[in-house]
Structure formats: structure tokens, C-alpha cells
Structure 1
Amino acid sequence: MPFLSGDGELASLIRSFDWARTPLGPIDRWPQSLKTATSIVVASPVPIVMLWGEQGVMIYNDAYSVFAGGRHPGLLGSNVRDGWPEVAAFNDNVMKVGLAGGTLSYADHELTLNRTGQPEQVFMNLDYSPVYDEAGRPAGVIAIVVETTAVRNARARTEVLVRLSDALRDLDDPGEIAFAASGILGTAMNASRVGYGTIEPDGETLRVDHPWGAAAIEPGPRVLRLRDYGSFVAGMQRGETIVVTDVREDERTRVAAEALERRDARSFVNVPVVEQGQLVAMLYVANAAPRRWAPDHLALIREVAERTRTAVERARSQTRLSRSEKLFRFLDALGKAIAKTADADEIMATTTRMVGEHLAVSICAYADMDADQDGFNIRGDWATSGSKSIVGHYRLADFGVLAVQKLTAGLPLIVGDVEAELSPEAAATFRSIGIAATICIPLVKEGRLTALMAIHDKAPRAWATDDLNLLREVTERSWAHVERVGAEAELRASAAALSLLNETLEQRVQERTGQLLAAEEALRQSQKMEAVGQLTGGLAHDFNNLLAGIGGSLEMIRMRIAQARPDAVERYLSAAQGAVKRAAALTHRLLAFSRRQTLDPRPTDINRLVADMEELVRRTMGPGIDVEVRDAKALWATLVDPNQLENAMLNLCINARDAMPDGGGLTIETSNISIKDDEARAIELPPGDYVALKVVDTGSGMSPEVAAKAFDPFFTTKPLGEGTGLGLSMIYGFARQSGGHVWIESISGEGTSVTILLPRHDAEIPAEGKDETRGPTFPAGDGEVVLVIDDEPTIRMLVGEVLAEAGYAAIEAADGPTGLQILKSDARIDLLITDVGLPGGLNGRQVADAARVARPDLKILFITGYAENQVVRNGRLDPGMSLITKPFQMEDLARKIKEAMEEEPQKC
């Protein structure tokens, strides 16, 4: 079949089709005229269908199959009258004319075809010509079919939009705009009903003020709950266009089909308007019969919806602007009228008159509330002719429960018809003073209902929102002017009183100043005595316990020596020494709290310090607490007293242990921290580099109130006798005295973190040396001479004993001047041991400085029980100087003496 050489779909279908069952017979017996005509049809890019024979057997090409839609491929080989039954009469005429040798031509011809299961209106350009057989007789008809529906719809759409623009251009009422747009669209779409409306704040209620085409339904606004008509609301809220061909068939509307059909909506399209994620408006087009909505129709509906929304909102904006301008002009005139008025009653008289005339009401009045807010007194009103004055006193309750509820809550009372909206008793009260409708605005100051302003009409009235807004604004402004007048009167009275007071001002100021100073001094004295009482009470309790232990132990030692039982003395010595150590710790805590303790700062590697303390901490914590050490790599050095830092860390660990009675986790962490200006100011430190030592536990934690007081002296949450309340305050004082800071972060029930922050120090840290084993054996001297200066004979005696035991020669002095005389002599002195606090006008540091003038290489050991700022200068002792604090053990003193003696002389 060379006449079907093409590779299109229809060429293949024609080759394989069983033509024997059609009037055309087998394809291989077709006459040449039919083959030739078929080849022309199949090869053409234009939609062509050939109707052969009396029956009009259909042979068409690929382009026509697209036009045929769902009817293809069933149309191939069918009789044209059967293939298109909805236009059978039209095609019957085509066959008669064509087989008679005639031609037909149609432009934009309208037909209703069923190509997709639903009838649709289409427009086409149609040209029909006869096809001749070998004998020259008409054997069939060729139809060229060009659909113009899209072009025609586009043209119609343009015409509709032009008419819409023309219609909306001169309209400024939102309801009229919506009605005009609905009518133009409904007419163009040949729809049953069209409406544009706004969505209420609930997102599900539609209000249509002027629907079009609802002849069978009562006139007036429509308020529709969309969920009563199907399950499509959620889709509209997402911005989806709802297209329903038949409400009886669509799952979204099947349940509500009856209600929809009563509203002429067998089929419909809903186009939502969504702004900022909210459904704000909707345009609907409904048809009383099932209808397939073409894409062109949907595009037109959407376009009309958008343009209607724009026009409606433009009109509303213009209306609001016009109302705002009108309100502004009135308020401006009112403001000018009362701005220079100096009398409150005149202000309110002008206000009520201008408001009453502007709003065309019967009465405008103002009132003051009674002190108990149960009643009010109308002080002034304005009334039209024929309306009587309502000035007088009234009970608020006489105007009904609604009036009491609204006005006492600070809300306006709005009544359009007292007879219809209020109780008979309340309506009777209003009626008795000639009021049928009212708006009453309450004025609330500092939570109290203080005044009222109202407009009334002697006939029922539908109040507009503008009426309420204007009365609200006027109420606030008028009372502001009333308050201005009152303030000006008070100012004048104050000026007069001030003038009178100025005459005696100096005397009054002196008297008042004296009273304030006396009160302030009394308060300071009271606070001072309270603090002293708290301090001395706590110290007395702790030191009485310690003195009892020391005194009791000494008595028992004396008794056992008298009984010749020296073997029993050791336990009492141990008890007394333990009490002394606790007393020393307590005094150190006090000094640290006051930031007056004597520190021995040295370049320190905190990682090394923590490592040396780790074993002790683990033993102290016990098996129920997991201890983890996280040491920072390349940790900076710091200048600090390592012994005090060890005490502080151990104190924090013990506090953490006490907070974890059932076990938990303890973390000791070090880190480098650089603090910027803002952070530094917040913790009262200079900006720069710091080293942090953090102790974290998973214990009971602290409430914010407890954490805020944790560093206060004597504050403790432990039972009486289990803590002095100086531990954390000592750590705070030590950190601040060392140039750093400390803070707590805690969550009740989750744990506590305490961070000690110390400044970075760039000096080289001494290499770690071997631990020296301490013992009671005193070092041996070689006849060196030691000058001991101390005002306490017992201290001089004990130091002398230590020196004698060690083989040193001792010279004693009781005060600074005596010691300085010895130092200025030619006597041999290898070491100066001096207390810091000395009588006689010279302290220990001053003696040492004077001695260094004459003896530059003199080695000096300070003994102190109380810090003096001049002992340690710039955070460190001078070369050749060392320090030991009272109280101390004798072996510690001997070790310090040996270290001082063995230190290399300093070159000056």
C-alpha cells in the first residue's frame, strides 16, 4: 500500500484497520480515487476528515485525531452520523450538499460536541468539498476542520475584561463594583449565578452583599457558611481554585448536593483570594446544569476575581481615606475651638455642641462618675430643639445590666434601639429622658471609671463605625484638654505656693538636711552593729569550740604528766594541734573574705597543680562520685598563691561532694579565656587573657535565690555546726585579691558549676622539683646569726628555740626601732626574721627596707598573722624575701629558715 507510506499514527491505523466490515470493503480493492484521496488526507498537517460514500465513512489524519479528543480512534471507519450523533442533522446536510457536487464553508461556526464525556461549546472554521471517483461522479466529501474556540474565547475574554474595566472605572461603592463585575462575568459565561464576597475572620464564612442572577432567591446580602456546601474550604484556604462539574458526582459536594442545587449550583467554580496566607475573599460562578469548565473559562474567572478584588479594595481605601479626612477636618476644627479655652465646662460645652451638630444626633452629653462608680452626674449637655436637657444625677444600674457590664469594664455601650435590645426596666429609664438609641463611651483612668461621654437619638438609629470612632477620639481629646486646664490651674497655684516657700527655703533645707544626715548616721550605725554582731557571733561560736579543744587537751597533758603517764600525751597533742590548724584555717578564710590575707604569689601551672591534687580529690570524693579532669592543652601560666588555690579547689570539691550524697559526677576543667571590653566591664576586670579553673558537679544545685547569696559571708545552707559560711566568701576574696574573679552557674536539681578566673602571667614557670619529705627533724645550722623581731614574747621564745635546735645564734628585739638599731650596728646578721605588725612606729616591712639600705644582701623572712598591703608589692615579694603566716608549725618554720639561708644572694 504505497499510498500509505507515511509513518504517522493514522497511516498505521488505516493499514491495520479491518475495512472489510465497512461499506468501503477490503483496502486492497479500493478504487484508485479513494486511495489517492486517502493519501492526500493522511499527508496533510491540517485537520482533515474524508466522508466516503452515502454513509459518510470517516477517514482522517493525525491532526483531526487531536480535534476528535476522546472520540478517537472510535471515529475511524464509522459513519459520520453515528460518530457525531449530537450534530447528526448538521452532517446529514453536509453529505447531501457534498454528494450533489456542492461546497460549504463556515467561519467561527458554533457547535456543541461531546469529546471528553461532557458537552462543550466549540467554534470552528469548516470547509467542505466533494471528492470524485474515476467516472467523475461525487463519491465523498472532504472536510477541512480548524477549531477557533481558543481564539474566539481569547477575543471574548478580552472583550469581557474591557467591559469590566469600563464598568468599574467610575464606581466607588464596593457593593456596586462587586455586582457589576458579577453581572458582566455571568452574562459572558452564560452562568446561572455569580457573586463576589469577603471572608469573615473565621476563614469559613462568606458575605456577599450584591449577588447576580439570584432571581429565585430573596434579595439582599448573603451570609453563607462554606462548610455547609461541601468539603472544599481547606483547599480554598491554600489558594486552590475549586472546580466542580457536577455536585452529585464530586466527592467534595455529594453530601451537600441538594442544598447547592437549591442555589442554582449543579456545577460551580470558586476562585479564592488569598493575601498573606489568609483567605480574604472569593468569586463564585454557578450553573444550574452540569457543566464542563474549559481552561479558558477558568482563566477568565480568575482574572475577573483579581480585578474585582483590586477595585473593591481601592474603593474601600478611598472611602476610608474620605472618612479619615472628614474626621481629621472635624477634629482639627474642634481642637482649634477648645485649644485656648481655660475653663473645663466651656471646653465640654463646645465639644458637645460641635459633636452633636456634626453627627446630627438629638443629644450629646458628658458626665462625672461618683467616687463609688455606682452613679454619675451629667454636668453638661447639648440638645437639638425639641429635645429636653438630661442634666442631673443618675444611678448606673437604672440603665440595665448591659450598661453596668460594658461601662465598668471600660467598653462602649452601643444600643441602636433600647426597646428591642434592652430589658423593659432599662428601656423605660432611657425612654423617660427621651432616648431611643445611644453610644456611651467610658473614660478609664488608672483602672477607675471616672467619666462618660455619650451621643443619643430620640428615634432608633443604626450607628455606623465612624460614629463610634469619632466619639472615642473626641472623648480622649476633650478630657485631655480638661486635664490640661486642671494642670495649668495647679501650676499657677504651685507657682504661688513656691513663691511663698522661697522665702523660707534656706531654713527648711537646712532643717531637712540635718534630719536626713541624722537618719543616715543612725542607719549606718545600725547596719554596722548588725554586721559586727553577725561577725562576732559566728567567730565566737567557732573559736569557743576550738579553744575548748586546745584548753582541754592542755589540761589533759598537764594531768598525764603529773600522773607520770607521758605515753598518753601524744593523743592530746594531736588534738590540740588539730584545733590550732582549724583555727588557722578559719582566720585565713576571714582574711581571704576581707581580701586582706597575705598571699605568696608565684608563677603557677594550674594543670600541674590540678594533677598534683587529683589523687587527694579522688580519695576525698569517695567511690560513689566519678571524677574527671579535663586539662586544656597549652594552658597559660598565672601568678597566684598555689597553696591558697589548692585550698580553694579542695573547698569547691568538698562542697560538690556534699551536694551529691547519692553519688554523681565531678569535673575539674581548665581553659584559656580572652575577655573583651563589654564582658570585662560586666565582671569588673580589665580586658585581656585569663586562665579559668572550673569545678562542675551533678548534684542538687541551687535555686537562683541561694546562688545569689552563695558568696555572702556566713551564708550557708548546711545545718548549724557543719559549716561557717566562709568557704565560698574566702574563695571570692582570694580570687579578687589575686586580680581575678569567681562566679557560680547553677540549676536546682541539675548541678552547679563554679569558675575561678585568674589573669594570665608570662613569667617562666619553675621546673617541677622533687617533693621534700617533711618531718620533725630541724635542719642543722653552722653558727649563723639570726635577728628575731616580734612584739609577742611567746613567739620570740619559740623562734629562738627552733633556731637553737638548728644550731643558729639568735638575737631578739621587741619592736621595730630596737631591731633597726641592731641592724645598723656592726653585729653579724645572716637572716632577719620579723613580724609585719610591730609597735614603735615602724612595721616589719619598713624595718626590712631600711636594713636593705645598709645590708643589700640581707635575707629576710616575714612572719605575719594579718596582711599589710606594703608586704607584697606589685603582687610579689622582693628577691631574698620570703613569708610564713601565723599560726605555723615549728617544722614549717624550720624549713622556711633553711630555705632562706640556702637562697643565693641577690646582686644589686
Structure 2
Amino acid sequence: MCLAGGGEAGARLRAVDWASNPLGPVEGWPLSLRTAVRIILSSDFPMMIHWGPELVTFYNDAYAPSLGRKHPGNLGRPAYEWWSEMWDQLTPIFNRVLSGESFFVENARYTPDRDGAPKDAYFTHCHSPLWDDHGKITGIFLVVTETTRQVVAERDLLQANAALAQQNEALQASKARLAAVVSASSEVLYSMSADWAEMHQLTGNGFLVDTGSANPHWLADYIPEDEQARVTAAIQEAIRNQTVFSLEHRVRLAAGGVGWTQSKAVPLLGPAGEITEWFGTANDVTARRVAEEALRRLNESLEQQVAERTADRNRLWTLSKDIMLVAGFDGTIQATNPAWAATLGWTQDDLVGRNLLDLIHPEDHERTAECTSAIAGGQAFRRFENRYRHTDGTYRWIAWTGGPGDGLIIAAGRDITEEKATADALRKAEEQLRQAQKMEAVGQLTGGLAHDFNNLLTGIIGSLELLQARVAEGRIGALDRYIGAARGAADRAAAVTHRLLAFSRRQTLDPKPTDMNWLVGDMGDLIRRTVGPAITVDIVGEPGLPPVLIDPNQLENALLNLCINARDAMPDGSRLVIETGRQGLDARAADDLGVPAGDFLTLCVTDNGTGMAPDVIARAFDPFFTTKPLGEGTGLGLSMIYGFAHQSGSQVHIASEPGQGTRVCLYLPPHAGRPVTGESPVELAEAPRAQQGETVLVVDDEPTVRMLVTEVLGELGYTAIEAADGAEGLNMLRSNAHIDLLVTDVGLPGGMNGRQMAEAGRVLRPGLKVLFITGYADSAVLSHGHLSEGMQVMVKPFSMEGLATRVRAMIAEA
């Protein structure tokens, strides 16, 4: 952590909200900034950093006293906000440093407002540029010492020397004043003989060892041996020219070891202008020199890292098997790597200066231009695919990753042509597999249907032949037995077609608010007779359940199928449980079932039979899939339930383990309406009769159906008009004949189906009531199951009794 430690200044810097500062969060700072901040906070020498375009300020505790009341408010703030009174003086210095020049000045005079009013102050300071991680000068490193007291002391000293030259008799008084200055100073003060052969006195203030008496060995005592020649040379030059001695050199410290000092001494002149003594000061600049050395090493390290990263980037550019690209936002290629030659056959000389669109497949131009515009807007991209032309004229698929950088497009691409070809081959193989599976399913369907319908037709044809023979012989006493057998076989054939329609989700549903508890209870006896006495059937209904909006006949069919499957899973008999209940599904549970989250009613059938393995459960809803022996099932039962559930906005779920039994649950959304219970079947003889003059138009292309419907209606007192197709039926509607109800098949020949004829008839006869009779409700014909007012539908096959009841109810409606 670069802001660790640092005393008060470090604590206050840590408290700054850097996220709202121009520099941003600390973890995003460049390594060079964090290193420099760590250096100043760990130093006891006054130091400061200005960073970024706003020159945001950092300084340490040693610098804080020089700020007066400006501290601590200036930490983390731009420099121009708190040095405004000196900005004209500081700006040229900062500009020089930011251009790469180090700047050192001694005893510079400034007029800061530190205590409520501008006041002259003097500073010796060194400015050095700071580089960011990319080698760009972004900051200023400042080591500073306030020399106001020293300058004042030197000024007083020079004035004292002048006074000595003018008035020797005032020497003692001047020495007294000088002694006062020395005692008040916090710097190292010393005096030397005229030739510097002897040190008269030195007040070290803890930095250097004090000397209270003459010391002719001062050079060896204070100056390291390898530094003595340089110090001596500077002394001799100052003596020779009678100028100020000024040198930054190493010195032996009072605490041991070697440090750095900035030493200055002025000559005191006698009446004849000769040097009589030297008086000097020395500052401890060890921390600054250490910081500068650390900064130098840091800069060297950063330069080395930049060089290493540049070399790594160059190696990657040269050795990568992926093609790399630098281009302008207008698509002009500026640089490519050698991989282009291996991938697409183009060299860099072939490509530089050309436009990308020259190489891209024409069908991909628009998408590529859109991607280029997005990059120009600052957006990076991943996995953008387009086709590039090879030098041999073919096209290769390239998957690109890249984005903007320094006003250019920087991107890397990988040849995915083989990957695309493999994926396409896999897709074609999967399509062929699906087609093979489809044909296999069709084979299973035709075989199963042929088997089932041959059995059923045998029962129907045989019963009718016997019925015909008995009538011819005049033996009419036992005809009901043959009629019942034929009717039973026909009903079973209808059940098979309903299963097929449910599997294909093309059955016409008649949803009604249904009380599930009533429905299950009403089916109890039928279920018990179906599963046989060896199986105990328990019905557990949760009281108070709201109704569900569903086709009750199809729900009964689904429940009966589940109970038959449970029976077949328990050949030796056992226990079967039918339960109703409610369950709330959270988002995760609902997502697993593929339904919206919320409350559902459940209808579950549980057995303790053989159970199913996971691979069987995975295929349980597949059409024609069955684990039963050949001839004992069509494999459509669970498929029918699955199709019915989805068509009803519900879901079905299987839970099972081998040897542990099976639990199948239907999840049904609740409904707010009032439930409708079952209706008792009506015999044709008991069906409601027509009123005087009521007429029904019957349109069906199947003569047998048309004959049966018209005869039943005639028996009930209706006037029945026949038509064999849509055009004939529409002509009847155009006539002046009185028509109370149109009964029409949906699928009619001649280019006009039943729905189209009905709608045309309603234009001619507004309010015309229509009853559609159909093998299935094609969604395109019946507008996806939504019928207009006054229109209803019945699904073939239907009983004549049911038809009569529906006709009477529709005509009687107001």
C-alpha cells in the first residue's frame, strides 16, 4: 500500500476520496506514482510530488510546516488552487520540468500567503521529472528546504562584514550579534580560518559532531577520504576568487555513517580586503539525495520493464500463429504480422496501405463497417467473424478480437475455417440423424396404428355383418349386443385419434373452470375397475383448492393414462395414490420445470412399482417410446399427456428410481372462476326437439357424415339443408332460405374451407350462428383456437346425442 505510514500526511492522504479525485482510485495509479508517494511518506526530509494534468499535490510531514495555514487542506488538491499567489512564478519552472529538464535553485525568493498575508520567504529546491509506466513525463518530484532563516542570517552576516570593513571598532558588537544568530539557528553553523587549515568552531545541531575549540584535523574528522580531494578543490577556488564557498558533498554524521550536506561559507574581509575568516552553514540533504537515488533507480527499473515488455510484444507479434493487425478507423492497413503470409498468403508489403474491405467478402462488408464504427466510438469486441480472401482466391473465416488503441484499430484474428466446416458437417449429420429418427418414428406410428385400427375395424365390421345377417334372418332379439360391440370399438378408435392429436398438440380443447377434487373423486370407481382388485387405490384431495381452467375430458383421459401406466408397473399388485394439492414455485424451481414462478395446483399419481432408470425418464415423453412388450402399447400415452399439458399452459414432471416406484405430477395454474361439474349423457330419444320452422344448413364433403347429421336433425324436427362444399354452402347462404344455424366441416374441398365460408356467410347474414365439426382444429383455420361470438366447435367423432344437444343450445341462445 503506497499510502501506508507517513504520519499525519499519510493518514490524511488515506482519508482522501480518491475515487472522486482526478487521479482516481489508488489501485489504478501508475507504479511510478505509487513508488514516489511511498518514498516521500517514508522520508524525514521535506518532499513534495505534483502529478497529472492537474498537478495533484502530495507532501510529507517534514514539508507541512512550510505551508502554514494551507496545511492540511492542500493534500490531494491541484497545485494552482493553493499556490495561486505564486502561480506566475511557479509555472515556468513546472513547464521546464515537465519538458524533461531537472531544475535546481538556491534561496529562491517567493511571497507565499501562509498566515493570512503574503510574506517573503526563501527556499532551496530541486525539481525532477517523474515518468509514468509508459515512459511519459506525468509528474514533478520536489525536494525543498526553506532557507528563509539561513538567507536572513547570511544577509545579516554580509551586512555585518560590511560594517566590519567600514567600522572595525564595531567588530565585537557584530560578533555578539553573530553569536546570537548562531545560537538561534537550526542549521549547522561553522567558522574556519582564512586558509581553511583550521576549524574554529562548529555547531552541529545533532547532524554533525560539535567542535568548541580549534581543530586542525577537521578534514579527516568530517569528510570521507574519497570525498576530500573534491572538497579541497572547491575550497581553494573560493579562497582564490574570494567568492562564496558552495558545495554539496558527503559528510560523516554525528550518529555514525555517512550522509550528504549542502555547505556554504562566506569570507569575512579585513580592512585591506584580505580574508580573515570564513563563516558558513550546512544543511542535511541526506534524505533528498537518498530519494533522488531511489528515483534514479526507479526510473532505470521502469525503463528496463518498458524495454522488456516491448521485446515481449515484438516476440509475440513475430511468432504468433494468429494474424495481427493495426489499421486506421477508415480501414487503411498500417501494419501486419508475419502470420498473414502463412494464413492468407499476404505479406506486409502486399497489405500496408490497402483498405480492409479490399480483402473482405462482399457479403461481410456491411457488418465489418458497423464493427469498425463501433471501435471508433471506443468499443472493444470479441469473436467478430468475417471472411478474408486468400491469395489463391478462396475465402477463409477469421474470428477477431480487438478494440481501439492510440486512435487506431488493434486486432488479432484466428483462422476458424476448419472449425466452421466441422460445425457445418456436424449440423448436417445431426439433421440426417433427425430425419432418420423421424422416418423411424413414422414407421413405428404406421405399424402401431395399423395394428390398433385393424383390431378395432375387425370389431366394427364383424358386428355390422352379424347385425346385417340377423336382420335378414328376422332375428332381431339380440341386436343390442352387436350394436354395443360396434359402438365400443368405434369409441376406442376415437380414443386413439385423440391420443394422436394430443401428441401433435392439434386437439381442440374446451377449457372450463374445473374442480379437480370433484373430477378425481368422480373417476374413482372407473379407475378402480380399470386397475383391478389387486391394486389399492387411495385418493387424497387437499380441501379448498381453487378450480383450474382446463378441458375436463382431456384431464380425465390424462389421469386415466397415468393410472394405467402405474398399473402396468405393478404386475403383482400393490398401492396407487392419487393426490391433489398446491405448491409455490420459486424462480429456480419454476425454471427447472419450464414454467413461470408462482402458485400451482398439482395432480400427482404415485405407485410403488418397478420404477424407471434415468435414461428411461429422459425418453419417457418421446413419441412411440414404450418399455412394454410388442403389441401392448403405442408409446403415445405419456406423449399425449405432455402435449395436453403444454397446450393447456401446464407442465408434467416425472420422479422415479428403479425399484422405488414412480411419481408423475401435473402442475396446473389456478383459475379464479367458478368450477363446472360434469354433465350426464343424454340419449338421442331424450334429446331436445326443434321448435316450429327451425332450419339448419349442414355442409360436409363426407356423404356418410352429412347423411347421418341431416337424418338426426330431421328426426328431431329440424329442417336440414345439405351442401357438399364451401361454394355450394355459400350459395345457400346467399339465397332467401331461412337458416337458424350453420353446421360445417372445417376442411372442405374446392378452395374455400369452412371458416372462410362461415365468415363470408356472416357478411351476408350478420349474427349467423356457426357450429364447426372437425377432425382437429387447425390453428390457421380457427385463428389459433379463438372463435368469434356465436361460433362453437365439436371434435369428430362425436355422438349424435351430443350433436343434438349442442344444436338445440346454440339455436336457443339469445
Q: TM-score, normalised by structure 2?
A: 0.48
Q: TM-score, normalised by structure 1?
A: 0.43
